[in-house]
């Protein structure tokens, strides 16, 4: 049995939560490998809805779970999330959750800097961040001044890291005409939260080595989507980490040989939160209809998502960059009842046909989508659990998507309910 990496193949919000929950029942261990509490995974189990941001989805199924070193951890948000889920009846303890000791922390000053920058930006330069400090925390990690989980048990280490952080952040705050950080107050906050976080902390290497040696099935859970990758996405309108499958290895402390199958979660249409280019966006009745029927509001921020037609060019590019072996197609039922569907099959830039999304932001903004029109279907696909339950035109739509993205559909999700899933190929079977 192989290990599976789950990533988004669009701009996030593809429905990873449900698919990861479905797969976690077949996994032995679930690992989050990048991002922070800007992620939002919604899991529906029976009549209960669980909303996760930092915690791996495996905690809902009682699977041993790891928050890997590639994640930036807001300890206050983490403890609030644990308490909220425990109030819903879940058991989360150091026996079931491990936080990698070399993961970097998000502190209150990071969220404040995030907000200050966004507020000072013009409409043209706003990124549309969640203002949760993810980007500034990754900056401090790369700048080698971050406070890490392993520092929390050592007062001298906390003080040294805080001094390094304030030497960088206080001049920035002065530039925004904001007061400097209260050093003593920040250290006191950190020491208090440390007492709650440290029981979950430890070295992840022995944990992962044992999992590999015992041939346990590992599910690597990504956040956001490929087109938000800091290198391969629509830069600068991206997140601050690598979101592609290759990050699962370094973000969990494993070699690339541990990644056996990459599943790309792919929505049957396209959405985006925040700013940035969106070639197939429908700022009209179609986009409004998709948003209303798909309940397109961010799990973390509550912001309304921008909606548009399926972009096969973008998804094909994400598949090639991420080494995606198969996709899980989600939210097909949102298209039910639409008489006509459109799929982007190519791009046009300054009158020239191109087959990829260019790296330059000004070129991305000028992209025009080239569409193919397809017949819709009137029958419902919601809750279908076999191909025989699907209208013939829906199957035709799926097959055309497979052809355009050059990758097979491994799973098909037909509602938020975990059992409303058509399995074509079990990712763990490789």
Closest CA to 412 of 356, 335, 337, 345: 335
- How many angstroms separate the CA atoms of 237 and 304, rounded? 17
- How many angstroms separate the CA atoms of 101 and 151, rounded? 8
- How many angstroms separate the CA atoms of 56 and 247, rounded? 16
Does the active-site annotation cover 356?
no
Does the active-site annotation cover 13?
yes
- How many angstroms separate the CA atoms of 20 and 220, rounded? 9
Q: Which one of 21, 28, 41, 311 is the catalytic residue?
A: 41
- How many angstroms separate the CA atoms of 156 and 138, rounded? 23
Specify the length of the chain in residues. 430
| Token pair for 167 | 């030497």
Strand spans (E) along 76-185: 97-100, 104-105
Closest CA to 347 of 279, 276, 270, 277: 279
Determine which helix (DSSP H) or strand (DSSP E) holds 245, and give its type and residue range. none
Count other Cβ atoms within 10 Å, centred on residue 70. 26
Interstrand relation of 340-349 and 310-311 (parallel, antiparallel or unpaired): parallel
Count other Cβ atoms within 10 Å, centred on residue 182. 11
3-state secondary structure at position 273: coil
- How many angstroms separate the CA atoms of 375 and 215, rounded? 46
- How many angstroms separate the CA atoms of 282 and 309, rounded? 7
Question: What residues act catalytically?
Answer: 13, 41
């Amino acid at each position: 049995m192989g290990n599976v990496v789950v990533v988004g193949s669009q701009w996030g919000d593809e429905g990873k939560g449900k698919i990861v929950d479905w797969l976690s029942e077949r996994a032995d261990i679930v690992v989050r490998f990048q991002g922070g509490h800007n992620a939002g995974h919604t899991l529906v189990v029976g009549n209960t809805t669980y909303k996760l941001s930092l915690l791996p989805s495996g905690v809902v199924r009682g699977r041993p779970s790891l928050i890997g070193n590639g994640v930036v951890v807001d300890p206050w948000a983490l403890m609030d999330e644990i308490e909220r889920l425990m109030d819903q009846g879940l058991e989360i303890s150091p026996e079931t959750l491990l936080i990698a000791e070399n993961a970097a922390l998000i502190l209150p000053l990071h969220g404040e800097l995030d907000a200050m920058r966004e507020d000072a930006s013009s409409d043209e330069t706003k990124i549309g961040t969640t203002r949760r400090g993810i980007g500034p925390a990754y900056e401090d990690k790369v700048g080698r001044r971050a406070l890490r989980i392993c520092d929390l048990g050592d007062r001298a280490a906390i003080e040294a890291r805080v001094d390094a952080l304030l030497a960088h952040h206080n001049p920035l705050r002065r530039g925004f005409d904001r007061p400097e950080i209260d050093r003593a107050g920040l250290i006191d906050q950190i020491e208090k939260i440390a007492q709650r976080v440290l029981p979950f902390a430890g070295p992840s290497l022995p944990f992962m080595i044992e999992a590999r040696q015992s041939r346990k099935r590992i599910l690597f859970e990504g956040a956001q989507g490929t087109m938000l990758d800091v290198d391969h996405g629509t830069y600068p309108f991206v997140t601050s980490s690598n979101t592609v499958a290759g990050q699962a290895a370094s973000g969990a402390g494993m070699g690339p040989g541990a990644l056996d199958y990459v599943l790309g979660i792919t929505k049957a249409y396209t959405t985006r939160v925040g700013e940035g280019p969106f070639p197939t966006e429908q700022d009209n009745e179609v986009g409004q209809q998709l948003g209303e029927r798909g309940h397109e509001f961010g799990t973390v921020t509550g912001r309304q998502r921008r909606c548009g037609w399926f972009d096969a060019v973008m998804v094909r590019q994400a598949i090639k960059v991420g080494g995606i072996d198969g996709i899980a197609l989600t939210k097909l039922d949102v298209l039910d009842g639409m008489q006509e569907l459109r799929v982007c099959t190519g791009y046009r830039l300054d009158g020239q046909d191109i087959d990829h999304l260019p790296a330059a932001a000004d070129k991305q903004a000028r992209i025009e989508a080239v569409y193919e029109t397809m017949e819709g279907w009137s029958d419902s696909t919601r809750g279908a659990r076999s191909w025989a339950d699907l209208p013939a035109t829906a199957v035709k739509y799926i097959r055309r998507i497979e052809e355009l993205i050059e990758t097979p559909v491994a799973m098909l999700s037909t509602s938020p309910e975990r059992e409303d899933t058509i399995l074509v190929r079990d990712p763990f079977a490789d």
